[in-house]
Each structure stands twice: as structure tokens, then as C-alpha cells.
Structure 1
Amino acid sequence: MQAGDFMMATNILLSGNNFAKVKLLFKHMNMGIVADKTFFKIQNAYCVDTIKEFWEEKRSAVIQRLATKDSVVALADGRMDSPGHCAQYCSYTTMDNDSKDIIALVTIDKRETERKAVIMEKEAFIRTMDLLMTEINLKEICTDAHVQISALMNKGKYKDAGIFHSLDMWHGAKNLAKRITAVGQQSGMKLLLVWVKAVVNHFWWCCNKASTHEEFMERWLAILHHVADEHVWVMGKCEHDCPTKHPKEWIVRGSVACTDRH
């Protein structure tokens, strides 16, 4: 085994790239590369255990520091190695909101979930929560709007754990835009498409301004009045100067596009 092979194999692994893809790139560039067998031999003999030891050492230091805090807010999300039901692995990463340090990393193989890809993220979340709850004073965890995870937090295993479950704003805004756009494709709903960006911006504004759920809902529901050209109503008013002209067409109160059944 040559030193060049060792360096190339190590650098490919540490870069996070897929060996097969790098090998294909080198092939198109008419360049030599370390053999498959040699790459995996180096990976298994020298790299994997060393990387694990380094990760555990760094994580242990972070957890010891966070263990002294009265409360910790964590951000978590999963990533599949490929889209849809064909995914074989799910990596679930959790980060401390204040320091931005990674505090947990769980990888699930589909064979651990009876080859059901749709529950891999749920299983990874459970392992993450069970681990962190024994190590730090976890008070809030923020995830995307994953139905199975929401069920665990609101009415399942962690219902009485005293941990607040919040939803990621980016995912919320993305889902909101998709839903409004889908409804806007229906007959008589085309006017909604004009308002998609404004409604999503209002959602972001509400998330950033509101400090409680009640305050968020109060600000959020104002959009129902604003889009209908109602800027002052019984229970409140829009937090902007009332426009005399508006570039968008107002949605008529009582019209099909203005109902809340969608």
C-alpha cells in the first residue's frame, strides 16, 4: 500500500463524498485512483474507529458543558441517503440552539425498522430523545412537521416529559406555500396564487414577532382581513399604513377563495 493511496482514500472519506462518484469523476478525467478494495481496507483499518473516537471525545465535552445549563433548546432533523421508500439509511442530527454544536447523531438502517423506510426518522428521533433526556435538561426541541414525531410529542411517548415541541419555520413556510398553491389550482381559486408570497412573508413575520402561541395566532389571523382589504376590524387592525392603492387584487369577502374550508 502506497502513501498516495492512503492519503487519497482518507481525503475522500473525510470530505464526505461518495467513493463511487469520485471514482467515476476520475475515470472521466482519465486519472488514476485508489482501487475499491484498497479504499475500503484503509477505511475499515485506519479511519472509522479513529473518527468515532474523535466524535465521542468532542461530543462528551459539549454534553458536559450543556449538563450545567438549566435548560437546553435543541434543533433536530433527519436526512435520507436517497429519496422516497428506496432509502436504506436515515441520519438524524441534533444541534444545540445557542452554541450550534452538534449534540447527537443517530443513523438508522432500514433493516432495523423491518425494512420500512417511512418509520426510520421516527425511530431515530426516539433514540435521540431517549439519549438526550438522560444527559441534559432538554426543555424544547424543534423539528419539521413530521406527523409521527408530532404524535410522539403531543400524545405519545413524550407527552408528559415536559419538553416543548416547536416546528421549524422554514418547513412551515414551505408547506404553507405548497398548500396555498395547490388550492389556487382549483376552479375559482386562481386569485390565491397572487397572494402566496405575501402570505408566506406574513407567516415569517408572525414567527419572528410573536413570543407566545396566542400572540402568534392574533397576528396570523390578521391576514384573513388584510387580503380582503379590511385593515381595521372589531378585534384589531393591520400593523401597517392603510393603503389607498394596492398592486394585488383584493379577495372579496364571502367569495369562494376567501372561505376557510380549504
Structure 2
Amino acid sequence: MSDAESTSKHDIRKYIVYETCLMELFEVCPVCKRVCTVKNKVLGTFISVKQLCEYCEYSRIWQRQPLLDSTPAGNLQLSAAVYISGASFFKLQRAMHLQIFLYDTFRRHARMFIEPAMVHKWNHSQNVMLQQLSEERKVILGGDMRADSPGHCAKFGSYTMMDLNTKTIVDLQLVQSNEVGGSSHMEKEGLKRSLALLDARGVTIDSIVTDRHPQIQKFLRDNNITKFYDVWHMEKELQSNYIKLAKPRTARK
């Protein structure tokens, strides 16, 4: 087995090839050295070239990239690269005049392949982490929520729970404001869901580090969970208050 065959399709090196340079390889028959008939089949970044010599009847079909069933591997990997990196599909399409597939194909790749693969990977990693945490006596966690917009107009909130000993994310909970009667209740709901999951998996919590959200403080106190304040939030509040106090002084000067 050659090196190329033994290497996975994901790890094979890729090159950007210009169409005119590529077609030079098929203009002349490699047997009789005469001009050949060439036909192309294009599917996004995939191109298949059929070369036929009318004189000596030499023929061959060449493909730019391997196929995964009927899906070109390069198309799928490019969709994954754009999706995972957070890049813009349309900017990539315009930047180099790159021969690429349609946006609908990109979304289909994401829906059918990329997103299920990411969810599967996350679920597997999370199960391993929770199993390890369940075997520890004391687990110190840090939790906080990030909303899609500041203030009370947020529609979604993502609550993140981290194991502070290993600095590893152990759980993510997405909460929608209309589920809990308003955006001010999303953080508490996200915390409750994370704690319910950890409890179901047998994780013993020693303490939690969070911000000074009143609902969070009361909920943890009612459940006899030791709580510590995140000094970053406190520092941020002190800086904000200092700026507010300093502005009138500057105006008087």
C-alpha cells in the first residue's frame, strides 16, 4: 500500500490548482502525442476530466479528489473548515474567485455531517469527563452565563460549567428566555440544569465559583452548596464604578 493510500483523506495535503494549468496536462495524448478531446465534470471544488484520443483510442478518467460515497471529500472538508473556523462562506467565495459549491450545499453539509459529528464528539468527551469527576471526592466548579445581547432584551443564554481543577468545560446549557419567563431568569435555569445533570451522573460538588447574581446566591444557599465569588466580576464592577465617579470630576475640570 502506498503512502497516499495508507493516509486518511483528511490528512492528505491539498493544493490550489488553476484551471488553465490543470488542463495543460490533458491536451496531448500521452501515447501518440496528438491533440485529445477533453470533457470536464465540475461539482464544487471537484473536477473530473475525461480524456479521449480519436487517433489511437487512448482514454482515461482523472478525478481531482477522492469521493466519500457520492460526496467529494474536498467539498465536505472545505465546508467543515469554514464552519468550524467561523469564517464567512460568501467572503471565501468572493475572495479568490474560487470554484466552490452553492451555499445550500454548505448548509446541507453542516446539517448532515458536520453538526452531527460535533455533537457526537462532544457527547463522547462529556461522558468521559463526567465519569472521571464522579470518581473524585471533591469537585470545584465555575459557572457563568453568556447572553446573545446585553440587558433584559436577551433571547438566548448559554450557561457554561467548568471544572476549575482541570480548566475543562464539563457542561453547556442553552436557555431561551420564553422558557423561564424572562431573560433575568435564564442564568438560574442554566445552573439548575447543569447541577441536575451532574447530580444524575454522581458528581459530588465541593463548591461553585460564580458571579453575585441574587437568584444564584439564593438557589445555592437553599441547596447547601458552598459558593465563592468570581473576583473577575468584582474587579469589573469596581472598574465600572470608578469610571462613573471619575466622569463628573473630569467634566468640572
**Length-normalised TM-score, structure 2:** 0.62
Q: Which amino acid aligns with 1:9?
A: S
Within the candidate set 126, 130, 133, 1:66 is matched to 133
Within the candidate set 239, 242, 246, 1:180 is matched to 242
The answer to whether the 8 Å contact 1:74/1:97 transfers is yes
- Aligned position for 2:81: 11
Using the aligned pairs only, state the percent identity. 26
Equivalent positions of 1:107-122 (< 5 A) are: 107-114=174-181, 116-122=182-188
Q: Which amino acid aligns with 2:186?
A: M
Within the candidate set 55, 60, 64, 2:122 is matched to 55
Residues 24 and 93 of structure 1: CA distance in aligned 2, closer, same or farther (over 3 Å): same
Equivalent positions of 1:129-144 (< 5 A) are: 129-134=195-200, 135-144=202-211
Q: How much does 1:24 deviate?
A: 4.5
The answer to whether the 8 Å contact 2:79/2:110 transfers is yes
Q: Which amino acid aligns with 2:191?
A: F
The answer to whether the 8 Å contact 1:9/1:34 transfers is no
Equivalent positions of 1:1-262 (< 5 A) are: 2-15=72-85, 17=86, 22-26=88-92, 29=95, 31-32=97-98, 34-114=101-181, 116-134=182-200, 135-154=202-221, 159=222, 161-185=223-247
Equivalents in 2 of 1:73, 1:29: separation in Å?
47
Q: Which amino acid aligns with 1:58?
A: S
| Larger helix percent | 1
Equivalents in 1 of 2:128, 2:217: separation in Å?
30
Q: How much does 1:122 deviate?
A: 2.2
Equivalents in 2 of 1:31, 1:88: separation in Å?
38
Residues 46 and 120 of structure 1: CA distance in aligned 2, closer, same or farther (over 3 Å): same
| Larger strand percent | 2
Equivalents in 1 of 2:175, 2:140: separation in Å?
23
Q: How much does 1:167 deviate?
A: 1.2
Describe the SS at the equivalent of 2:140: strand
Give a deviation string over 1:63-111, Cα, whole Å, max 9, x none. 1111121110001121123334443322211111111121111112334
Which protein has the larger Cα radius of gyration, Structure 1 or Structure 2? 2
The answer to whether the 8 Å contact 1:8/1:34 transfers is no
Equivalents in 2 of 1:89, 1:164: separation in Å?
28
Equivalents in 1 of 2:82, 2:153: separation in Å?
25
**Length-normalised TM-score, structure 1:** 0.60
The answer to whether the 8 Å contact 2:207/2:226 transfers is yes
Residues 52 and 27 of structure 1: CA distance in aligned 2, closer, same or farther (over 3 Å): closer
Runs (5+) with no aligned partner, structure 2: 1-70
Equivalents in 2 of 1:60, 1:48: separation in Å?
18
The answer to whether the 8 Å contact 2:82/2:89 transfers is no
- Aligned position for 2:22: none
Runs (5+) with no aligned partner, structure 1: 191-262
Q: How much does 1:185 deviate?
A: 4.5
- Aligned position for 2:15: none
Give a deviation string over 1:156-212, Cα, whole Å, max 9, x none. xxx1x331111111111110222233244457xx9xxxxxxxxxxxxxxxxxxxxxx
Q: Which amino acid aligns with 2:141?
A: A
The answer to whether the 8 Å contact 2:158/2:173 transfers is yes
Root-mean-square deviation (Å) = 2.6
Residues 82 and 7 of structure 1: CA distance in aligned 2, closer, same or farther (over 3 Å): farther
Kindly tell me the number of residue pairs found equivalent between the two proteins.
179
